[in-house]
Structure 1
Amino acid sequence: MLQGLARASLEVRHMRRDAMHGTLLLMGSGETSPTMVEVHRAAISGLGAKPRAVLLDTPYAFQENVAEISARACQYFARSVGLDVEVNGVVAGADWVFCGPGSPTYALDRWAGGSAMADLLARVRAREGVTVFASAAACTAGVATVPVYEIYKVGAEPYWREGVDLLGAVGLNAVVIPHYDNAEGGTHDTRFCYLGERRLSLMERELSVGTGILGIDEHTALVIDLVDERVRVAGRGGVTVRTRGGQSVLPAGATATLAELRELLLGEGRFVAPAVPEVVAAQRTLGEIVEACEQSFAAALGSDDVSAATRTVLRLEEDIAGWSADTEQDDGGPLQARDVLRRLIASLAAHTGQRVVARIVPPLLAVREKFRCEGAYEGADAVRDALAEGGVRVEDTADGPRWSLLP
């Protein structure tokens, strides 16, 4: 029977500082988004002032923009988390190691026969350092791996690949499925890392008896304290422990011992919900922020409150900037959000007359100038084009931008 499973604070920083020296952190998604900042900060809180931090680009090294992805990730960890990260540094002896998005099987192929996989296993077995596996990398953390690209993108029949099995080093016989609650498919089932229930059920039958599934929701982390042998669920969603005999869901804030989690994976334990659930604050995803801004914008224009509509546009621009380092870009990511921003600006310009335009164009040009200063020229061009669609011409001069109404 699973005993002692209780709700706790979302912030894992309350765990004992010396325990954080040995941590395995598995993330379902959002690893470089604002939703996971506090989880990252908590994980490094016991590593000292200048921990040696290593980012492995292995899962996405096949992409043409690998350098750009790594740069965004390094920027995120430096600005939001306070980590100076080295790309593809030596794993052995590192205080903190991160591996994230891309292709699980590409990573496995590159690690095969090399020292990185052995070093990753060694640090978990030794209960030393913080090891963060997220998204594609999290897929590899169990005894078997979901070949996401081959099944979902190429159409291969469902099958398993052997995993790195970091969990086996702490006595957990399981496979890890990130993006467990994904709903991008809309009309088709993309839960369970894009497998859907039909394919996951087929694959589940191929697992050996006693092997369970750890399903980690998006923007959610399973934090495993390797020293105290306790686990905690942090973030927006939950962690599903699925076996052939049923499933248990550990919600955000839930804690348990490793022994209790092993029982659940064997189908021998039972999750007992707390009598009084604790409300855990959850940060919104970029997709939810965009949707809320669209609703606020529509309401503001509906009441002819141009000032409120303008504030909504400026607030959305700030949020997009905060999500610009997200390497995985759930819900369409900043690019799709900027498309919405452009549409809102165009709608705002079309809604107003010349008197109001004279009041709102300067702050919008300030947004454009901010994009230009940050090197986000695509965003700057989007603001300019959106203003043009709304009847405002922008010309760059030696004295700065000059605008006028189109005839």
Structure 2
Amino acid sequence: MPGLLVLMGSGETSPTMVEIHRAAARTLRAGARAVLLDTPYAFQENRADISARACRYFARSVGLDVEVASGITGADWVFSGPGSPTYALDRWTDSGVAGDLRARVRARQGVTVLASAAACTAGLATVPVYEIYKVGADPHWREGLDLLAPLGLRAVLIPHFDNAEGGTHDTRYCYLGERRLSRLEGELPPGTVVLGLDEHTAVVIDLESETVRVAGRGGLTVRCPGSQTVLPTGTRTDLAELRRLAEGGPGRPAPPRADPEPVPAEVTLEETIRSCEELFKAAAAKPDMVAAAQSVLDLEAEVVKWAADTEEDAGGVDQARELMRLLIARLGELAATASLPGLVEPLLALRARLRDEGRYEVADALRAAMLTGGVLVEDTPDGPRWTPAP
């Protein structure tokens, strides 16, 4: 079996990480057994829904049939992702999964993909992010799986390293911020390094050749007392170089170089939301009703594309849906001030296309917006008919 350890900072079931998953899946033998460990989020009431979305993602986007399980014996490929790091650690330790994960890395066999909360458990210590950020516990460490020890790395791994959700407060470093991370670093055993993994970014370690690749949208930060080195996406190096950097060696990482088959970085849903909103505003200012409606359709298409994403904390899909409803309502307001004949036919064509594609919810919302703007649309056997609303 191939030996591969893939650690992801976030976005593990989003379009941004598809190519990384596919590359790992291509190393598997035919008929390989793929297991999704649902432990990190097993305490949530929507556990089954999260698992179903993840399985659909891997089947449709990666081409991998995945079973949900609580153990990994006999698995060629193992994945675990969002939730609570400490909840997962407690149960993996009690069930023996912790030892099984360590054994996989020690034997340098099998593909092991840990993301977000699960990735947080990979080092010798773990950030109890739920307890600190959401409950208000004093900053402290929990013992981790220490999967990196067999690779010669005395390290903790912190996902969501470049998180910026806080806006006015510092949520970098998996929601710790600089103040709390600096305090926690002082409590680590001597010689321990922090490996920070940015969102929508992965570090791929070939356990047999000991090569290391950084892929995605951000970088891998090697943070030692008094020094910090960032390995940006596209970097190809090896474990020996990581170990040297972890020991505080001067920052001379292997120069970044493009992959043999470079893949354009996927735009995140947050970036798409901002872009669609700006396009709508520009179209409304002209006004160009068709362009404004098209920006709503583009946003709706992205919502469908990202529907399998299990990373719920950012609230991306819900935020996109809320904006879509707001923009559709705004369409209706704009229609009230527009010239009806020049407006209606293009919007009816858009609505017809939506119905042909089975996107009835958006088509109905567009008709409701037109009614708000003074246009009554009725579906007849001869096609849609419109009249000025009474």
After TM superposition, the score normalised by the length of structure 2 is 0.90
| SS, match of residue 164 in structure 1 | coil
Q: Give distance in 1, aligned partners of 2:295 and 2:301.
A: 10
Structure 2 gaps of 5+ residues are none
State whether residues 212 and 236 of structure 2, in contact with CA within 8 Å, keep that contact through their aligned partners in structure 1: yes
1:167 deviates by 1.0
Q: Give distance in 1, aligned partners of 2:54 and 2:385.
A: 36
Aligned residues: 384
Do the aligned partners of residues 396 and 270 (structure 1) sit closer, same or farther apart at CA in structure 2, a change above 3 Å counting? same
State whether residues 368 and 383 of structure 1, in contact with CA within 8 Å, keep that contact through their aligned partners in structure 2: no
State whether residues 155 and 192 of structure 2, in contact with CA within 8 Å, keep that contact through their aligned partners in structure 1: yes
Q: Give distance in 2, aligned partners of 1:98 and 1:402.
A: 52
Q: Give distance in 2, aligned partners of 1:123 and 1:22.
A: 8
1:324 maps to 2:283: no
Do the aligned partners of residues 195 and 303 (structure 1) sit closer, same or farther apart at CA in structure 2, a change above 3 Å counting? same
State whether residues 236 and 256 of structure 2, in contact with CA within 8 Å, keep that contact through their aligned partners in structure 1: no
Residue in 2 that maps onto 1:12: none
Q: Give distance in 2, aligned partners of 1:401 and 1:94.
A: 55
Residue in 1 that maps onto 2:285: 302
State whether residues 235 and 255 of structure 2, in contact with CA within 8 Å, keep that contact through their aligned partners in structure 1: no
Structure number with greater CO (CA < 8 Å, separation at least 6) is 1
Residue in 1 that maps onto 2:245: 264
Structure 1 letter corresponding to 2:52: A
Residue in 2 that maps onto 1:237: 218
Residue in 1 that maps onto 2:333: 350
Which structure 2 residues correspond to residues 2-401 of structure 1 after superposition, within 5 A? Answer: 21-88=2-69, 90-272=71-253, 274=255, 281-329=264-312, 331-352=314-335, 353=338, 354-355=340-341, 356-361=343-348, 363-364=350-351, 367=354, 390=373
Q: Give distance in 1, aligned partners of 2:79 and 2:257.
A: 35
| SS, match of residue 324 in structure 1 | coil
Do the aligned partners of residues 396 and 133 (structure 1) sit closer, same or farther apart at CA in structure 2, a change above 3 Å counting? farther
Q: Give distance in 2, aligned partners of 1:178 and 1:62.
A: 21
* Deviation readout 1:197-229 (Å, 9 max, x if unpaired): 000000000001111000000000011110101
* Deviation readout 1:161-181 (Å, 9 max, x if unpaired): 000111112221100000000
State whether residues 195 and 220 of structure 2, in contact with CA within 8 Å, keep that contact through their aligned partners in structure 1: yes
Q: Give distance in 2, aligned partners of 1:71 and 1:394.
A: 38
What is the aligned-residue RMSD (CA, Å)? 2.8
When structure 1 is superposed on structure 2, of 343-352 and 222-231 the one drifting more is 343-352
| SS, match of residue 315 in structure 2 | helix
After TM superposition, the score normalised by the length of structure 1 is 0.86
* Deviation readout 1:253-280 (Å, 9 max, x if unpaired): 1121111101111213423474999998
1:115 deviates by 2.3
State whether residues 331 and 369 of structure 2, in contact with CA within 8 Å, keep that contact through their aligned partners in structure 1: no
Do the aligned partners of residues 175 and 307 (structure 1) sit closer, same or farther apart at CA in structure 2, a change above 3 Å counting? same
1:357 deviates by 3.3
Q: Give distance in 1, aligned partners of 2:363 and 2:85.
A: 35
